[in-house]
Structure 1
Amino acid sequence: MSRRESPPPPSPPPPPQLLGVRRGEVECEDRPERAEPLSDTEREIIQDTWGHVYKNCEDVGVSVLIRFFVNFPSAKQYFSQFQDMEDPEEMERSSQLRHHARRVMNAINTVVENLHDPEKVSSVLALVGKAHAIKHKVEPMYFKILSGVMLEVLSEDFPEFFTAEVQVVWTKLFGAVYWHVTGAYTEVGWLQVSSSAV
């Protein structure tokens, strides 16, 4: 009589992780569906509210990055100049962090200024995505995390402009940004790049 072996029980799927993701764990093929295009009214809301933010772009950008790095310290692995910074006050004094904050805010500004021109928005975000995939090797999930942190900071710092309704519109914009960026990651073969880099 032969002994039949029962197959091992299927292992449960790993829990979704936002923190501590390792290279290759985030698949760009899990891209969200493309968001509905912004309506004229939504574009106006974004441009109007962004005008208030961009007057203070460097300070807002620094606040966003400090909260991002404090709450998600694993993101610092991509920034050799910030890796050893633990203290938010030290981060705030860092000229490199200020410089990166300006770059982030200027990229968003370019997107907001060109919402009427989807081709321009797409090309800007493709450049950002490709640079972060190829040169910096940043997990795409961090774009989603940074968007959430930014929305949190904007709603706290500009409560009169970032009402619940406005936050919904900005969430839609950040969803579109993430869709374009992950598209660029997929285009450059992120999974192959990342798995060979492990």
Structure 2
Amino acid sequence: MERMQRDGEVDHLEQPSPLTDKEKVMIQDSWAKVYQNCDDVGVAILVRLFVNFPSSKQYFSDFKHIEEPEELERSVQLRKHARKVMSAINTLVESLDDSDKVASVLKLVGRAHALRHKVEPVYFKILSGLILEVLGEEFSEVVTTEVAAAWTKLLANLCCIITAVYKEVGWTKLSTATG
């Protein structure tokens, strides 16, 4: 959704088209299977984030010092945050037919991460990619190519909305650097 221009400014491409009814059903059906294992899936996603993008740990005082993936998996604080992430995704998936509810949830998430936690918005794009990776690996029988395409579209839409919330609250550093 983003492309770097010569001067380092981020060029935001247009928001993806809305999900079709068929895509919503595919996402909800696949999510039903995933959410049965929400704790393990959430932990797998966050551990992958912190291992592959160690700079993302800077926002988590409780486990930013933990280096070993096995130790991250055992962290009570990481498990709690994984549960929050999975619950938020669950609310969004359950509310795909209620655009106001989706917008409300994403506004809360975006505002909290921009204003309170000061998280660079690029981490939402990174996290989206990791969610797709983990779902595709752990649930390959459910997350077919067509289902993955629907998830990709959903996550791209969510990133666009969150980026808009960041702009709305005056976030000035729409950086793509993950240092």
For residues 32 and 105 of structure 1, do their structure 2 counterparts lie closer, same or farther at Cα, with a shift above 3 Å needed?
farther
Measured after TM superposition, the shift of residue 26 of structure 1 is: 7.3
Q: Which of 141, 148, 161 lines up with 1:167 in the alignment?
A: 148
Q: Aligned partners of 1:182, 1:132: CA distance in 2, in Å?
A: 11
Q: What is aligned with 2:77? A: 96
Q: Aligned partners of 2:76, 2:113: CA distance in 1, in Å?
A: 21
Q: Aligned partners of 2:83, 2:12: CA distance in 1, in Å?
A: 28
Q: What is aligned with 1:49? A: 30
Measured after TM superposition, the shift of residue 13 of structure 1 is: 3.7
Specify every segment of 5 or more residues in structure 2 that has no aligned partner in the other structure, as ranges: none
Matched AA of 2:146: E
Aligned pair 1:32/2:13, yes or no?
A: yes
Measured after TM superposition, the shift of residue 165 of structure 1 is: 1.4
CA contact (8 A) 1:69 1:76 kept: yes
Over alpha carbons, which structure has the higher Rg?
1
CA contact (8 A) 1:125 1:181 kept: yes
Q: Which of 166, 170, 174 lines up with 1:185 in the alignment?
A: 166
- For these two proteins, the number of residue pairs brought into alignment is 171
For residues 26 and 73 of structure 1, do their structure 2 counterparts lie closer, same or farther at Cα, with a shift above 3 Å needed?
farther
Q: Which of 107, 120, 132 lines up with 2:101 in the alignment?
A: 120
Question: Identical aligned pairs, as a percentage?
Answer: 58
For residues 26 and 64 of structure 1, do their structure 2 counterparts lie closer, same or farther at Cα, with a shift above 3 Å needed?
farther
When normalised by structure 2's length, the TM-score is 0.91
CA contact (8 A) 1:26 1:139 kept: no
Q: How does 1:64-83 map to 2 (within 5 A)?
A: 64-83=45-64
Measured after TM superposition, the shift of residue 137 of structure 1 is: 0.4
For residues 26 and 13 of structure 1, do their structure 2 counterparts lie closer, same or farther at Cα, with a shift above 3 Å needed?
closer
Q: Which of 34, 39, 44 lines up with 1:58 in the alignment?
A: 39
Q: Aligned partners of 1:32, 1:171: CA distance in 2, in Å?
A: 15
Q: Which of 87, 92, 100 lines up with 2:68 in the alignment?
A: 87
Q: Which of 131, 145, 148 lines up with 2:112 in the alignment?
A: 131
Q: Aligned partners of 2:9, 2:140: CA distance in 1, in Å?
A: 33
Measured after TM superposition, the shift of residue 158 of structure 1 is: 0.4
Matched AA of 1:52: K
Alpha carbon RMSD of aligned pairs, Å?
1.9
Q: Which of 148, 166, 169 lines up with 2:129 in the alignment?
A: 148
Q: Aligned partners of 1:26, 1:128: CA distance in 2, in Å?
A: 24
When normalised by structure 1's length, the TM-score is 0.82
Matched AA of 1:156: E
Aligned pair 1:105/2:86, yes or no?
A: yes
Q: Secondary structure at the match of 2:81?
A: helix
CA contact (8 A) 1:31 1:182 kept: no
